[in-house]
Amino acid sequence: MNWLVNTLGSSIGKKLLMAITGLGFCSFLAGHLAGNLTIYWGKDAFNSYAAHLHSLGPIITMAELGLLFFALVHILTGTTLFYQNFKARPVRYSMNKSAGGRTIGSRTMPYTGFFLLIFIVFHLINFHFIDKTGTTIYQIVHSAFENIGYVVIYVIAMIIAAIHVSHGLWSAFQTIGANHVKYMPFIKVVSYVFSLIIVIGFGFLPVYLGYIA
């Protein structure tokens, strides 16, 4: 198994770990969003979606553990990369200027990542690790977003998530080696569209729940 450690522990291996876990999160987000959209069909639809999800039982537990594992890998690897990359340039430039390669997304990956970590903990405490007896998930969510502070936090968090994904998604394809002159422009467009969907899809929900529904 030494070879596996060597391969995954190398600079490219670490990238691969980031890419695969990152792609995992992207697909999770897609699924999560699809589920959340049931809110627009009213509270019954949303509640029944939640109930259906919970009825999956062990499968959902497995998925949760999987996500937790992915998160640990993503966070630990990301932190290692951040530390190593910081150390790779002991004396900084007194003047920094981009040639146009970097984007807001790529520039801020560690920071947006860190913020998202805090947000996810916050989000889980609010909606996941909460006593759901005698209430429905719709009610919990709805009452939460009547608080303007929550709405603001969630909208900002979704903008940050989108920024993170705008670099992360295409970058994951580059990392796994899928960069081709014919397809890369398409992949980049998909990344930006996906980020936009995240902002609009997730970001509009709190507003909808808090002020429209």
Partner 1 sequence: MTKTINLTLKVWRQKGQKKKGRLETYKAVDISTDMSFLEMIDVINEQLTLEGKEPIAFDHDCREGICGMCGAVVNGRPHGPEKGTTLCQLHMRHFSNNDTIVIEPWRSRAFPVIKDLAVERSALDRMIQAGGFISVNTGGAQDANAIPVSQEAAELAMDAAACIGCGACVAACPNASAMLFLSAKVSQLALFPQGKPEAAKRAISMVREMDMLGFGNCTNETECEAECPKEISITNIARLNREFYKAGFFSAEK
Given a contact cutoff of 8 angstroms between Cβ atoms, the answer to whether 104 and 69 are in contact is no
Burial class (CB in 10 A: 0-12, 13-18, 19+), 21: buried
Sign, Cα dihedral of 130, 155, 34, 170: negative
Q: Is 133 in the site for partner 1 (CB under 8 A)?
A: no
Return the SS3 of 104: helix
> Cα(89)–Cα(85) distance, rounded to whole angstroms?
7
Question: How many CB atoms are closer than 10 A to CB 15?
Answer: 17
Does 79 sit near partner 1 (CB under 8 A)? Answer: no
Work out which of 55, 57, 92, 129 binds partner 1, going by CB under 8 A: 92
102 binds partner 1, rule: CB under 8 A: yes
According to the binding rule CB under 8 A, does residue 167 interact with partner 1?
yes
Among 27, 55, 58, 89, binds partner 1 (CB under 8 A): 89
| x/- track of binding to partner 1 for residues 134-163 (CB under 8 A) | ------------------------------
Q: Does 183 interact with partner 1 (rule: CB under 8 A)?
A: no
Binding residues for partner 1, rule: CB under 8 A, are 2-3, 6-7, 10-16, 81, 84-85, 87-102, 106-107, 109, 167, 171, 174-181, 184
